[in-house]
Structure 1
Amino acid sequence: MRYVIIGAGAVGGTVGGRLAQAGREVVLVARGRHLAALTAHGLRLRVPQGESTYRLPAVDGPGPLGELRADDVLVLAVKTQDTVAALDAWARAPVAGGGTAAERLPLVCLQNGVESGRLALRRFRRVYGVCVWLPSTFVEPGVVSAAGTPLTGILHLGRVPHGTDGTAHRIAADLQDAYFEAPVVPDVARWQYAKLLGNLGNALEAVSGPVSGEAAEALYARVRAEGEAVLDAAGIAHVSAEEQRAARGDKVTPVPLDGAPRGGGSSWQSLVRGTGSIEADYLNGEIVLLGRLHGVPTPLNELLQRIAGEFAARRRAAGSLPVAELVAMADRAGGAAAQHG
């Protein structure tokens, strides 16, 4: 199989580089300065074992590839807010022997949240979801880092909306040869919703810095409690914290890497890079949506969704909102919701 990594940033670049290291065929899809660096110098991947450079084909879309191959696996690793544009670009791409990518090729959603799988199913017949546990960073154009050891990450994999098949097991086998643990599960959504609860802190980290210290940790606990209440009301199952800890163990332990500082998670990195967008609509916003559908107030997640969006649109500096100020805003939002309840 050949892996076409659509969005070769921190997560996509790491997975692509590790697969290439394991001898798999890989094509990287990127744009702008990142694409130029990949084309000129290759992908530089920094991991605890050292830095390696992978000279891989790099393109900006399906056009330069001509017809896709029947054994291609499309790996969607863009941020969720960029999913529709990516699906539009790739769904109609022709495949050798006839048909389109949407009709014939597997699409793997290597993304946070749960929305991308639903969007993909509108276009692609075979969609696979992944619960991504992979500490990685976009360092600069052409350079990504992944600090986890002894494994680079854990990627629970399954069909969307549920089930498994031979393709999932073949993909998992390739990932397991590439410094990942890749359990194939029939209920990948359970893992993704559990990860979503953890990702509710991404916006908090992005606007106010690391979720550490009594005030930040207490606020995150309140935000997560809203999420858990919503999932319960919606009847959505998710893996428990105990099951997650048992799955992770000490398999992916981040260590410091020279020349590759880890400033924060994916939302933090979006603000640092000044991309103008952020995933909060599909993380905290997923809880807000479900809360509105099932009659559960979610003022804290609504607040974080709004503030994170404003930070991205105005290109405000990551971590620049004092946590005490954010807590005060949360208290006011929670009080107002209680009065209107």
Structure 2
Amino acid sequence: MRICIFGAGAIGGYMGVKLAQAGADVSLVARGPHLAAMQEKGLTLIDAEAGRTTVDVRAREKPEDLGPQDYVIVTLKAHSVPSVVPKLQPLMHPGTTIVSGVNGVPWWYFYKSGGDLEGTRLRSVDPDDVQWNGWGPERVLGCVVYPAAEVSEPGVIRHIEGNRFSLGEPDGSKSDRATALSKVLVSAGLKAPVRPRLRDEIWVKLWGNLSFNPISALTHATLDVLCNDAGTRAVARGMMLEAQTIAEKLGVKFPVSVDRRIDGGAAVGAHRTSMLQDLDAGRPMEIDALVTAVQELGQITDTPTPTVDTVLALIRLRARTAGLY
């Protein structure tokens, strides 16, 4: 089984180290100083429990240098994915599976979802249907990414918490390709359950990203602060309740309450969300898949989203002011 991680930043790098340690046939696509460091010194993972580990990895900038793969795990920020669709073609053979480890509402959300919205395309996450037409949703295996990690310096990943990558077919089946990848990830010390209702998990994860990310970027507060401050907690709660109404109209079942989800965010501690990290680093901010997509789904389901709309307007302007949107 040949596995390529496309976008080997914090999450992709973390997964890459774990797979390489387990002896998997894994390669990584990256660029810039991070790539140069990996090629020169290997890829280092710093973990609170396991300490510091460095592994040699096959890392390249050009996908054509790696050849066709059985699984391509995409761990880019959502807004970066449409532009790389043509670049992934050299990694494909007829049976290649695209594992979408991207935050937010996935572009394939309504593929084999059933109901009146079957096949609906989302402009906010797949403008011009680039992914839908370029890869085809039939290649996709969904993935909800739970670990928190960051690139502390080129070639070095700091793992903060979590090791679960939930997998799921768009139609909810327990397919051979999902089961095979799950076994490989589990052998690498990761949790990789195959879920029949992955969309439920997508929304529970999205609850936090939808609210915590933009609020943190607007306030520069860490998770523990924004979840415990009465004012920002109320804003996050309002956004989550609006999202819950939308999701339940789409058939989603939430296994936890909004308040429990917020408490879970607080328990992570003084973590800087990915959107805050991007703002501080001058990188484009992941707004559309996390926030705009919820607004779009509100329009599709005829659900008012006043709190989401307000925070979206603020974070868009903050990002534009910084030249990051």
Aligned Cα root-mean-square deviation (Å): 2.6
Query: Judging changes above 3 Å, is the alpha-carbon distance between structure 1 residues 316 and 216 closer, same or farther for their aligned structure 2 residues?
Result: farther
**1:300-323 CA distance string (max 9 Å, x none):** 212322332333343389xxxxxx
Alignment of 1:326-337 (within 5 A): none
Secondary structure of the corresponding residue to residue 182 of structure 1? coil
Quick one: structure 1 residues 61 and 300, their matched pair in 2 at CA, closer, same or farther if it must change by over 3 Å?
farther
Could you tell me the TM-score, scaled by structure 1's length? 0.78
* Aligned counterpart, 1:238: 253
| CA shift in 2, pair 1:76/1:62, >3 Å | same
Deviations 1:28-51 (A, max 9, x none): 111122212222222111112111
**What residue in structure 2 maps to residue 294 of structure 1?**
301
Looking at structure 1, the residues matched to 201 and 34 of structure 2 have their Cα atoms a distance apart, in angstroms, of 31
Q: State the TM-score, normalizing by the size of structure 2.
A: 0.81
SS in 2 for 1:138: strand
Structure 1: how far apart are the matches of 2:153 and 2:38? 11
Aligned to 1:269: 277
Residue in structure 1 matched with residue 145 of structure 2 by the alignment = 132
Alpha-carbon offset, residue 270 of structure 1: 1.4
1:184 aligns with 2:182: no
**1 CA distance for matches of 2:9 and 2:61?**
13
What is the identity, as a one-letter code, of the residue corresponding to 2:90? A
Matches within 5 A, 1:1-341: 1-48=1-48, 49-65=50-66, 67-69=67-69, 72-90=70-88, 92-93=89-90, 100-101=92-93, 103-117=94-108, 120-122=131-133, 123-124=135-136, 125-148=138-161, 152-201=162-211, 202-208=213-219, 209-210=221-222, 211=226, 212-232=228-248, 234-241=249-256, 263-275=271-283, 277-315=284-322
In structure 1, C-alpha distance between the alignment counterparts of 2:38 and 2:18, rounded to whole Å: 15
Q: Kindly provide the CA deviation profile for residues 238-295 of structure 1, in whole angstroms up to 9, marking residues without a partner as x.
A: 332169x89xx9xxx969xxxxxx74122122112211x2122111112100111222
Letter in 2 for 1:79: K
Query: Aligned pair in 2 of structure 1 residues 113, 13: CA closer, same or farther (>3 Å)?
Result: same
User: AA paired with 2:250?
Assistant: G
Report if aligned partners of 1:28, 1:59 keep a CA contact under 8 Å in 2: yes
Number of matched pairs: 291
Q: Aligned with 2:310: secondary structure?
A: helix
Greater CA radius of gyration, 1 or 2?
Answer: 1
- Give ranges in structure 1 of 5+ residues lacking alignment: 95-99, 256-261, 318-341
Cα deviation digits, residues 10-40 of structure 1 (max 9, x gap): 1111111111111212211111222122222
Displacement of 1:204: 0.8
What residue identity is the alignment partner of 1:225?
Answer: L
Residue ranges of structure 2 left out of the alignment (5+ in a row) = 110-125
Separation (CA, whole Å) in 2 of partners of 1:140 and 1:312: 24
Q: Does structure 2 conserve the Cα–Cα contact (< 8 Å) formed by 1:162 and 1:189?
A: no
Write the distance in 1 (CA, Å) between the matches of 2:285 and 2:59: 25
Structure 1, residues 152-176: CA drift from partner, whole Å, max 9, x if none? 4112101124322111111111111
Change (3 A) 1:300 1:180: same
**Which one is further off, 5-14 or 205-214?**
205-214
2: CA distance, partners of 1:8 / 1:301 = 31
Bigger mean CA offset, 209-218 vs 167-176:
209-218
